[in-house]
Structure 1
Amino acid sequence: MTAQPAPELTAEHWPAPRADSEVGPLRAVLLHRPGAELKRLTPRNNDQLLFDSIPWVGRAQEEHDAFADVLRARGADVLLLSDALVTALGDERAHAAAASTAVDHRRLGNELAEALASYLSTVDASALADVLMAGMTFEELPAAEGASLVRRMHHPHDFVVYPLPNLLFTRDSSVWIADRVAIASLAMPARTRETALLDLIYAYHPRFRTAGRAYGAHSAPVEGGDVLLLGPGVLAIGVGERTTPAGAESLARSVFSDGLAHTVLAVPIAQDRATMHLDTVCTMVDRDAVVMYPAVRDTLQAYPLRPDGIDGVRVDGPVPFLEAAATAMGIDRLRVIDTGLDPVTAEREQWDDGNNTLAVAPGVVVAYERNVETNARLEEAGIEVLRIGGSELGTGRGGPRCMSCPITRLPV
């Protein structure tokens, strides 16, 4: 039996945005329910759009609804990105800015770009949001006066506005650090336009208008899946396929300047698809515990960054990650729960997002049901596991943590 949706909260009842850890009781979260953007995926474009296969969209929606129900049942207010975007676009300034973000003058040429911009300026907030998320083909763009070589040389089903199927993974595009939000700078071309949508939501949705920013989206690449809030004032930032050393240092300088952290651990990870973010190999499941891919347990290193003077940063290391994390957190050691009982099982379950858990409270996590061995080991270690289906949601390589951007967590 699925949980009933929680009543929609009014403005005066919205919990104040703030997240100081990965495990504090979750009270508000941003999700994106899979939509028409996933129906744009074909065998011809799924690699370009960062999906490993073509998802069954109806089943993905069912799985996501069940995920949202689990979070609501545990006391979280679920804000859907599509609803938040439509609300933000109700502001005329946001509508005008959004229309311009969808128009690529270099690719379309001036005449076709102007025709697209003109059309988008006339549609309502809901229709504009649909185009921004699901894209638009040349066939769907209303005809413009005059000839267009660009239009004639493209197939009708080619995209005049590319879809954003990776919106599903809301953790990557923004992350809350204390009471400020960091808009990510996404590395992959298929995802760069997501930044503009999150920027609009946080600027124009009434829930966030007073929220401060922690990081500029136009800085060096940093993705939220690489950012772990190990505890108040302590961040770990994975550096690999999606987040660059310059991005990690830029975010560190920003949080030091704003007084949001005293230590940032830059953690090098393998630059490949299986370990695209730090949260694909390690996530927190309790105040002092992580679930970790055993292949990296003894080799994962960290460069501790700390403030040095007014604007400087001191870089130390490298040192073992687990040791550096415990020191920064002020605890004797981090408990480590390995995934899998043997190298083959561990590798399979890491690929299937066994390490990508979402804590809804200390010692309580949401995980994909298919990671049987990992979930069993979590429960043996005293962690409560809330299992969800993910056969279709996981086709874009992301688990419960990837699919959620916590807005509000209570202190631990």
Structure 2
Amino acid sequence: MAYVDSEVGRLRTVLLHRPGPELARLTPRNNDALLFDGIPWVARAQDEHDAFAEALRTRGVEVLTLDALLEEALASPAAREEAITAAVDGPGLGDSLRRCVRGHLEGLHPHDLTVALVAGLLAEEVPAGTGLVARLLEPHDFVLAPLPNLLFTRDSSVWVGDRVAVTRLAMPARARETTLTRVLYTHHPRFAGARHVYDPADEPLEGGDVLLLGPGVVAVGTGERTTPAGVERLALRLLSQGLAHTVLAVPVAQRRATMHLDTVCTMVDRDAVVMYPGVAHSLEAYTVTGGDEPGALRVEGPRPFLEAAADAMGLERLRVIDTGLHPVVAEREQWDDGNNTLAIAPRVCVAYERNTETNARLEKAGIEVVAIAGSELGSGRGGPRCMSCPVEREPLGAGAATSGAGARGLQPPAGAA
């Protein structure tokens, strides 16, 4: 089953996407538009990702892969129609070329359709169209752009309790990712009956900005990718459906290095975060709770984030482990996703091996580090947390070091343990 109520409960099932031919579509001419800082060595990126997945399996984690699940879902005619319609929608193709691309996609086997939807299509890979758009395209122009950022499965969906938020990605290069994620969660038998708490038709919201600090407490960053309206929409849904008692809205500087909240802060224990020291004591949060009337919100603050988070979690304070005391070291390791760890259990996390200072500080604080290579995977500016969408964690529940979940009736459903 699917259930997640924290960042650190023992990880049981996770959704990954093994990088494939979509990375081979990156060139110096398009990598900026496709949000990559470099041109990754595809075979090495795949090796690194395989090692990441194997490290999780070794720790008893079930690893689901997005492309395999999507291929299975696309055996359904309804799923095929939804995915193809979303792919050819929009004004860029024109009517004539749109019909050609649709006809091409409709004739593909589910495996080949999955590859085309993820890796994109060049003009030379579809039957020649007769319209003006087709005539003006060069053979190597995209008629369907690739999705290299699908690697970062955290952004397009996030589970809160037993419900999934299928998000709306802000950048044009990533907009189509969530149409595939929605197809998967709507049509794959594994997720039959899954209830959705957010939808791509809602305001921009990305999973990298959503941190489940503990049962009933959700922090949501707002900045480059997630809008304040997106935070408000999610807060209304979570509070009204009993999935949270407190949502913390956290403004994050709108820079490439800090595109999401999880680029500056992730949890590694029930009461501990690894955090970029450049923002640790300047980050603020607005505390959002239910208002006096249905659909109303109460907003208080701002207060220091660490203080507001500890209060909401029922803790005296949060332990902070930083990415290094030297400003240059801290900045380098923050850029290389030193803060972007994936907890696989309390006091156990996966981190990039290159961030030696951060990893040493984590281990000194009693956190076991499962180090993985990421020289090629990191070229899209994402770490182990970015590359993973937890689908099931053991619930922290009333046994957590928090007064919120047990005191306010936020318990996992029967059988979630």
The TM-score with structure 1 as length reference comes to 0.95
CA distance in 1, matches of 2:85, 2:203: 23
Alpha-carbon distance, 1:104 to partner: 3.6
Judge conservation of contact 1:341–1:373 (CA < 8 Å) in 2. Answer: no
Asked whether the 8 Å contact 2:56–2:63 carries over to 1, the reply is yes
Contact 1:286 1:363 in 2 (8 A): yes
1:102 to 83, 87, 107: 87
Quote the offset at 1:100 in angstroms: 1.0
- Code of the residue aligned with 2:249 in structure 1: it is A
2:368 matches 1:384: yes
How far off is 1:314 after superposition?
Answer: 0.6
The residue type equivalent to 2:388 in the other structure is S
CA gap of 1:234–1:143, structure 2 versus 1, over 3 A, is same
Provide the C-alpha distance between the structure 1 equivalents of 2:325 and 2:290, rounded to a whole number of angstroms.
Answer: 41
Q: Is the counterpart of residue 374 in structure 1 residue 362 in structure 2?
A: no
Structure 1 residues 5-404: aligned runs within 5 Å? 16-144=1-129, 147-308=130-291, 309-404=293-388
Q: Give distance in 1, aligned partners of 2:137 and 2:212.
A: 45
Q: Which secondary structure state, in structure 2, belongs to the residue aligned with residue 100 of structure 1?
A: helix
Instruction: Name stretches of at least 5 consecutive residues in structure 1 with no aligned partner.
Output: 1-15
Q: Confirm or deny: 8 A CA contact 2:70 2:180 kept in the other structure.
A: yes
- Cα deviations by residue, 1:267-311 (Å, 9 ceiling, x for unpaired): 001001000000000000000000000010110000000011211
How far does residue 118 in structure 1 lie from its aligned partner after superposition? 1.4
Give the share of equivalent positions with the same residue, in percent: 65
Task: Indicate conservation of the 8 Å contact 1:82/1:129, yes or no.
Answer: yes
**1:32 aligned partner, one-letter code:** H
Q: Which moved more, 1:254-263 or 1:46-55?
A: 254-263
- Decide whether aligned partners of structure 1 residues 220 and 152 sit closer, same or farther in structure 2, where only a CA change above 3 A counts: same
Q: Which amino acid aligns with 2:133?
A: V
Q: Structure 2: any 5+ residue segments left out of the alignment? A: 397-417
SS at structure 2 position matched to 1:102: helix
The 1-side partners of 2:199 and 2:19 are apart by: 27
**Separation of aligned partners in 2, 1:61 and 1:36:** 10
State the distance in 2 between where 1:135 and 1:338 align.
40
2 CA distance for matches of 1:28 and 1:104? Answer: 33
Secondary structure at 2:91 match in 1: helix
Partner letter of residue 163 of structure 2? R
Instruction: Describe the superposition over 1:378-411 as per-residue Cα deviations: whole angstroms up to 9, x where unpaired.
Output: 0000000000000000000000000000000002
Q: Say which is worse superposed, 209-218 or 169-178, in terms of deviation.
A: 209-218
Deviation at 1:105, TM superposition (A): 4.6
Matched residue type, 1:225? G
CA distance in 1, matches of 2:330, 2:220: 23
SS of 1:53 mapped into structure 2: coil
What residue identity is the alignment partner of 1:76? V
Q: CA deviation at 1:148?
A: 2.2
What one-letter code is carried by the residue in structure 2 that aligns with 1:301? E
> Using the alignment, how far apart are the partners of 1:104 and 1:177 within structure 2?
30
Aligned positions, number: 395
Q: CA deviation at 1:216?
A: 2.1
